[in-house]
Structure 1
């Protein structure tokens, strides 16, 4: 796994060992950041279910001002810290060790005076938490006007996000789907 573009292009990243994590494939990362484009410059990025931190680190490499990584798994947290050290992005990162739903309802609004321009979430594919998290993002008013929510999920999963009042676009990459809420 590597950083695919930006100031840290080509830098190799670590994966959590002994875990059943599913890293975001390079072609999917590339597609995500093609959607985002130059709007990533100076943006606040929120990486939920951060895993190895690869997507948030990609955002930083491409010019994001700051990335907040939310992850509850200890092995993943160690990997995120290692990858941030390898890419020299510790000063632009905040790591929250907490369950995502608890972080949404408490930590994120208390810790930050700003909202996020981009929210990326990639929970375990077999999880039933997608709509809960999307509703939490809306309920706790975490995204800027014009902000974008990007959800990685299994191709056959249909996200019900109509109540968010955002335009929904879905793209497919093999067994993976990316739902973009604008």
Structure 2
């Protein structure tokens, strides 16, 4: 069985920008690449799980998202980091249009994307983490049997007071990664 780090994308790996879909607007959070390298060095599979309601709302296409995710993966690879998978949910039950207006199991806080990663990469949930900046990220981790971690980047800076105590809270992804080096 493998260990996994499941990561929300927007506000955790990259700077939160509403409905981010253009490569020129993508910026890694400070220390994010260093954090990913630490996870990899500790032999965690790195799996990104991201809600993308901008697709559901018709703001951008799945092709636009694929280009952006490919860019993120290539930038990580330049640093010697392998992102094992990027799963995304293009649905929104209320605000979606057309085929994307459905109730699904993949939209966090539902665990669908995490369960897919657990199965595909033979992940041991008891040795794995879900890291994100929103309550929905943490609840998806809970529903998957994975320990959940809140970072104070993105929306996490506004959510940390209400979630601290229930979940461990770190300043950013790098601070969490560094904490793992002390445990392993």
Report the TM range for the smaller structure's normalisation: 0.3 to 0.5
- Whose helix proportion is higher, 1 or 2? 2
- Whose strand proportion is higher, 1 or 2? 1
Greater relative CO, 1 or 2 (CA 8 Å, sep 6+)? 2
